[in-house]
Amino acid sequence: MEILGKTTKHSRAIEKRIEELIQEMTVAEKIGQLSLVNSIYGKITKPLRQTIAEGKIGGILNEVDVNVVNELQQTAVEESRLGIPLLVGRDVIHGFKTIFPIPLGLASTWNPEIPERCGRISASEASATGINWTFAPMIDISRDPRWGRIAESFGEDPYLTGVLAKAIVYGFQGDDLSSPGCIAACAKHFAGYGACESGKDYNTANIPENELRNVYLPPFKAAFDAGAASVMTSFSDLDGIPATANEFLLKQILRQEWQFDGFVVSDWEAISQLSVHGLTASDKDSACEAANAGVDMEMVSRTYADHLADLLIEGKISQDRIDTMVSNILRAKFKLGLFDRPYTETSSVNTDKSHEYLEAARCAAVQSCVLLENKHNILPLSKDKLSSIAVIGPLADDRYEQLGTWIFDGDIELSQTPLQAIKAFMKKSAEVNYCRAMATTRSRSREDFGEAVETVRKSDVVILFLGEESILSGEAHSRADISLPGIQNELIEEIAALGKPIVLVIMAGRPLLLEKARKNVDAILYAWHPGTMAGPAIAELLFGIASPSGKLPVTFPRAVGQIPIYYNHKNTGRPATAGSVTNIDDIEAGAPQHSSGDTSFHLDIDNSPLYPFGYGLSYSEFKYSNLRLDHDKIKLGESIRIEVELTNTGECEAEEVTQLYVRDLVGSVTRPVRELKGFKKLRLRPGETASITFELSTDDLAFYGRNNKLVTEAGRFHLWIGGCSDTDLRAEFEIIES
């Protein structure tokens, strides 16, 4: 993997070419490079062509017609004075034509090969249309399922997000950005976007610097270590300074501490919105703040185009700063090889690959589903024992809704639905009785409930496909109530009253509240939005062709009032313990003022989540044993080798994700009660035992301590291994000074 920024011969040559170009550029041409303009969707107008020919546009976004892209590149390369090619950006987030599971689903695979493959295939499909830059990965830590964009994230954990971020960046960019089929990645949204108050999109975030460094920033560092070529600023305000004008983030952290040599792009019109935040009084001030803070390229709004030249004359921005901004963008263009190969061959769509791509999407979808409940091992269903199956629900046969958020270019024709797949799987061996029951997941009409009940009555088993349509999550689609929308719970109740076994498959872009539903059903398979191959993947899991292996990358709350609820929380000085918790119903009338059990809990809900981070059932059973460490004391700079035996004690071949957690018992700042430090996914046959090892160095245990300095501190640690964050198989070790 090439790490961008390493001083190689190649990068020295690039730096020389950048310098030469900068020397030749006029101020207008330089400012032009900083401008990212929205396309006119398949059209080229005279003014657009002319602006490009004048060298006043650095990139376009949202153009996916390869002929149009080529024509625009031709104008840039052949008609502009210096022939600088364009960046062509697009939100290629979880697939392009072939749609993979939403990122939260990709994260549920706990298998970096899956996001890597998703990145590689998306890049290959997207680059065939001339796209050379994707606005992905989104690696905002998300602890709030109300936030619609949690769908687009890898969940709540910095380590898991970092590992997957590296993988997908590598998938998009490959070893060499200039190779055919590779596109530049953009780590977003820098930083803190996921901490939006009340989970409302674009909302204010207040994150203390220590938490920012320990929780929100590590995934970005991982993405840059993997060579991510660009970064997008967040729309949000971070501790009073919008990220788009935040010098601390963009200069101190990104450039000084991390030595990032890619470019920084604003989010959509985020520079002009600095005045809406109330940080600036005018577009001119906004341009000045953003440029000086470190935003190189402006997406869509025109404050740079309109004001940077004047700001330069007035001395409010330096020539040096502008040259640096331009250089950062030119560097990416050189690395992409655009100067040598600006055009896209119109025949470059490789149709031979479509089968391989669908196969990869199916495999990703299989691994992304999380089995949350399986009472009496109702799953897998046995084809031979069933003569009829009821398939019910608005998401059973909807080729569009299974795809998820960010599917601008997704090919709906490729979608295979669960109903289609179940029918194909059962062939003629059982009747498949289908009823949509609700027009949408939000529907409040009971009109079709009668038909649903009749459909269930004549069937041996019910498979319910419920959840949320794609549009209920994603950007600007946050919810305050995250229960099943509409009257889906009533539908479940009505069907449950018939006493047939019920399997609930949920497609959704976020964790939903499932306390009610789970009482009424026998199994819950959480499929997120699984993408193009939802149908075959789900059918395989339901009928036991594959065993579920997904694990939750985010905690499922019991109620909205528990949010934010996440596994790697702090202990507090008064953690709740068994016996210290009071229930609201046990408080006597007129009870005198007291602090109850003096611990940290809600009176009206259990302290635990409904499903913890890392949780997910399998059709098999796994046993962990013989946990041992090669040392129980290590010095700073040394490593510890951890070994555990994993046995498949169940009856089918299955995969298990072994998770390693630690707790630093005493720190110069308080440390989380558990932190994920490693994981491995392994397939085992029934009865098979594998020895799993992890190597943990004291550097892996470093954190930002007092004064926000990175430290590794001597002291005692607890360590756990298991198949979920609540595992209790524990060992201990100590870091000693010398």
Interface residue list for ligand NOJ (CB under 6 A) = 91, 135, 188, 267-268, 475
Closer CB to ligand NOJ, residue 475 or residue 490?
Answer: 475
- Give the residue with the Cβ less far from ligand NOJ, 394 or 509: 509
Q: In what order do the strands lie in the sheet with 263-265?
A: 186-190, 230-233, 263-265
Measured at the CA of 406, the angle between CA 402 and CA 409, to 5 degrees, comes to 90
Active site residues: 267
C-beta closer to ligand NOJ: residue 100 or 733 = 100
Q: Least Å distance between CB 254 and ligand NOJ?
A: 18
Query: What is the four-CA torsion angle of 680, 618, 112, 217, rounded to 10 degrees?
Result: -80
Largest Cα–Cα separation, the chain: 84
CA dist., res. 706 & res. 616, Å (int): 36
91 vs 522 by CB, closer to ligand NOJ: 91
Kindly state the smallest distance separating residue 233's Cβ from ligand NOJ, in Å: 10
**Minimum distance of ligand NOJ from residue 229's CB (angstroms):** 15
Distances, alpha carbon 574 to alpha carbons 555, 577, 657, 671, 691, in Å: 22, 9, 32, 15, 38
Q: Which residues pair with 600 in a beta bridge?
A: 575
H-only helix segments in 509-580: 515-520, 534-542
- The closest of 199, 210, 197 to 237, measured between CA atoms, is 197
The CB-of-235 to ligand NOJ minimum distance in angstroms stands at: 6
Closer residue to ligand NOJ (CB): 139 or 432:
139
Of 58, 140, 149, 151, residue with least CA distance to 102: 151
In whole angstroms, the minimum distance from the beta carbon of 244 to ligand NOJ comes to 11
Here the contacts of 540-544 (C-beta below 8 Å, separation 24 or greater) are: 540/366, 541/366, 541/369, 541/371, 541/379, 541/380, 542/379, 542/380, 542/381, 542/422, 542/463, 542/503, 542/505, 543/380, 543/381, 543/382, 543/383, 543/425, 544/379, 544/380, 544/381, 544/382, 544/619, 544/652
Q: Least distance (Å) from ligand NOJ to the CB of residue 433? A: 42
Nearer to ligand NOJ, 195 or 701 (CB): 195
- Kindly tell me the burial class for residue 387, based on how many C-beta atoms sit within 10 Å of its own C-beta (0-12, 13-18, 19 or more): exposed
CB of 34 to ligand NOJ, least distance (A): 17
What residue has token string 């491995």? 680
Instruction: Name the residue whose CB lies closest to ligand NOJ.
Output: 135
- Which residue type, as a one-letter code, is found at position 4? L
Is the Cβ of residue 138 or residue 517 nearer to ligand NOJ in the bound state? 138
